[in-house]
Amino acid sequence: MSQPAHHLENGSASASENGVDRLAAADAAKAEANAHFKDHQYTEAVDGYTKAIALNPTNAVYFANRAAAHIHLENFGCALTDASKAIELDPKYTKGIYRRADANVGLGRMKKALIDYKRAAQVNPRDPDLRKKLTQCDKEVKRIRFEEAVATPDELPAAEGLDLSSIPVDDSYDGPTMEGSEESGYTLTRDFVVAMIEHFKAQKLIHRRFAFQILLQARDILRELPSLVDVSIPADQHLTVCGDTHGQFYDLCNIFDLNGLPSDENPYLFNGDFVDRGSFSLEVILTLMAFKVLYPRHMHLARGNHESQSMNKVYGFDGEVKHKFNGLMANIFKETFCWLPLGHVLNRRVLVVHGGLFSRDGVKLDDIRAINRYREPPEEGLMCELLWSDPGPSNGRTPSKRGVGVAFGADVTQRFLQDNGLELLVRSHEVKDEGYEVEHNGYCVTVFSAPNYCDQMNNKGAWIRFNGKDMSPQFTQFEAVPHPDVKAMAYAGNFFSSMLSM
**Would you name the residues annotated as active-site residues?**
306
Longest dimension (CA), the chain: 87
Residue 45's CB: how many other CB atoms inside 10 A?
28
Run of H or E residues at 311: helix 309-315
CA distance 236 to 102: 50
Q: Which residues, other chains included, contact 373 with Cβ-Cβ below 8 Å and sequence gap of 6+? A: 227, 303, 338, 339, 340, 341, 342, 383
Cα–Cα distance, 391 to 408 (Å, whole number)? 5
Helix or strand run (H / E) with residue 304: none
CA–CA separation, 214 vs 267, rounded Å?
Answer: 19
**DSSP string across 165-186:** GGS---TT--S---EEETTTEE
Under 8 Å CB-to-CB from 169, ≥6 apart: which residues? 177, 182, 207, 209, 210
Rounded distance, CA 29 to CA 76, Å?
23
Q: State which amino acid sits at residue 8.
A: L
CA pair distance 138, 123, nearest whole angstrom: 18
Cβ atoms of 409 and 392 within 8 Å: the answer is yes
Query: CA 100 to CA 403: how far, in whole Å?
Result: 12
Task: Give the Cα separation of 440 and 413 in Å (integer).
Answer: 7
Query: DSSP secondary structure string, 48-60?
Result: HHHHHHHH-TT-H
Q: How many angstroms separate the CA atoms of 226 and 34, rounded?
A: 48
- How far apart CA 34 and CA 8 sit, in angstroms, is 7
Beta-sheet strand order (sheet of 350-352): 228-231, 343-346, 350-352, 424-427, 444-447, 436-439
Element of type H or E holding 351: strand 350-352
Q: Is 334 helix (H, G, I), strand (E, B) or coil?
A: helix
| List of E strands, 158-310 | 179-181, 185-187, 228-231, 238-242, 268-270, 299-301
Distance CA 49, CA 62 (A): 6
How long a stretch of residues is the chain?
502
